[in-house]
């Protein structure tokens, strides 16, 4: 088990960026942590870390060990946790990531009840609009919105992700509302910029299922949906939103739907996990809890 403990220490060093931080997190002295890392390198016959006075980097061999070793550690932890608990009570640290806006609006309010229900689970929640590599970042679970393009992940659908085009009534007081998708090309459109680039092509589907793709443009773009929402509310243009993001604005008529006779292709909101043989009880409990909280009809679609 010494090698397993040394591997866990090595992974902790990569996650925290220093030997001293990893040692503190495991209640070790820096000297003992350094000796154990040297022992691991000696046993494996390779150098795992490049050490300088200011920085610590994994070697190519260290990166390979981290990629495969993290999965082994997680499976061992999940197995021993399940055996220890005998299927009764979820426990341990649950590391979750999701987008900043969705996490703040719909995940954060659920956390107090989840921790009341499962007091032995500790939560580490990362709100980040960038899609983290779950394995490299040590995450147990991500809640992701939109298409899934990583076949190494296991997904469970939590809700549909209905999307709308919307702007403020103030914007339409100065412009003729679009009647067909092609009219969008003549309007100020607020563009989301993501990992896939500048999302300037909007695909709109009519009642017969015919799809039209329009190239749109505008003077404002952002990688953060809240910026686009603020701009739309201020009358600066038309934006492409997930319904969960603006449903209160639509109900209060602060925003109005554009091209209501058309629809945007729906995607989904999924809980995604790394593929592994043993899924920890804490992960299963959290996914079940979120799914139960959303229900058949998620909060943003109720009473629409």
The continuous run of DSSP H or E covering 125 comes out as strand 121-127
Do the domains spanning 2-83 and 163-257 agree at the CATH topology level? no
Class assignment of domain 163-257? alpha beta
Encoding tokens for residue 295?
């229900």
Query: Which pLDDT does position 91 carry in this prediction?
Result: 85
Domain definitions of the chain by residue range: 2-83, 90-158+267-301, 163-257
- Tens of pLDDT, residue by residue over 252-280, are 999 999 999 999 988 899 999 887 666 78
Average pLDDT, the chain: 87
- Out of 61-70, 118-127, 137-146, pick the least confident: 61-70
Query: Which pLDDT does position 52 carry in this prediction?
Result: 67
Q: How far, in Å, CA of 216 to CA of 74, rounded?
A: 45
- Tens of pLDDT, residue by residue over 108-135, are 999 999 999 999 999 999 998 888 888 7
Number of Cβ within a 10 Å radius of residue 43 = 11
User: 2-83 maps to which CATH number?
Assistant: 1.10.10.10
- Tens of pLDDT, residue by residue over 233-256, are 999 999 999 999 999 999 999 999
DSSP label of 124: E
User: 90-158+267-301 maps to which CATH number?
Assistant: 3.40.190.10
Q: Do residues 273 and 138 touch, judged by C-beta distance below 8 A?
A: no
Query: Which pLDDT does position 85 carry in this prediction?
Result: 57
């Amino acid at each position: 088990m010494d090698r397993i403990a040394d591997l866990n220490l090595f992974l902790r060093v990569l996650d925290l960026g220093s030997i001293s931080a990893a040692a503190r997190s495991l209640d070790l002295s820096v000297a003992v942590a350094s000796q154990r890392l040297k022992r691991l390198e000696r046993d494996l016959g390779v150098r795992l870390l490049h050490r300088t006075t200011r920085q610590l980097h994994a070697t190519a061999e260290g990166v390979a060990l981290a990629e495969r070793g993290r999965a082994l550690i997680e499976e061992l932890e999940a197995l021993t946790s399940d055996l220890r608990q005998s299927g009764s009570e979820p426990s341990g640290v649950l590391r979750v990531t999701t987008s900043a806006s969705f996490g703040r609006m719909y995940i954060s309010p659920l956390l107090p009840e989840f921790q009341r229900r499962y007091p032995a689970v500790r939560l580490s929640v990362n709100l980040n609009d960038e899609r983290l590599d779950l394995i490299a970042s040590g995450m147990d679970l991500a809640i992701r919105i939109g298409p899934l393009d990583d076949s190494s992940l296991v997904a469970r659908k939590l809700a549909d992700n209905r999307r709308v085009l919307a702007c403020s009534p103030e914007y339409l007081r100065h412009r003729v509302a679009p009647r067909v998708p092609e009219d969008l090309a003549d309007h100020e459109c607020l563009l989301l910029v993501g990992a896939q680039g500048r999302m300037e092509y909007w695909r709109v589907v009519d009642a017969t299922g015919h799809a039209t793709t329009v190239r749109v443009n505008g003077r404002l773009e952002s990688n953060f949906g809240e910026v686009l929402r603020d701009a739309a509310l201020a009358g600066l243009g038309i934006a492409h939103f997930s319904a969960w993001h603006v449903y209160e604005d639509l109900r209060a008529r602060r925003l109005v739907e554009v091209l209501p006779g058309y629809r945007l292709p729906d995607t989904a909101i999924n809980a995604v996990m790394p593929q592994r043989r043993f899924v920890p009880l804490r992960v299963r409990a959290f996914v079940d809890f979120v799914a139960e909280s959303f229900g058949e009809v998620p909060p943003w679609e109720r009473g629409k």
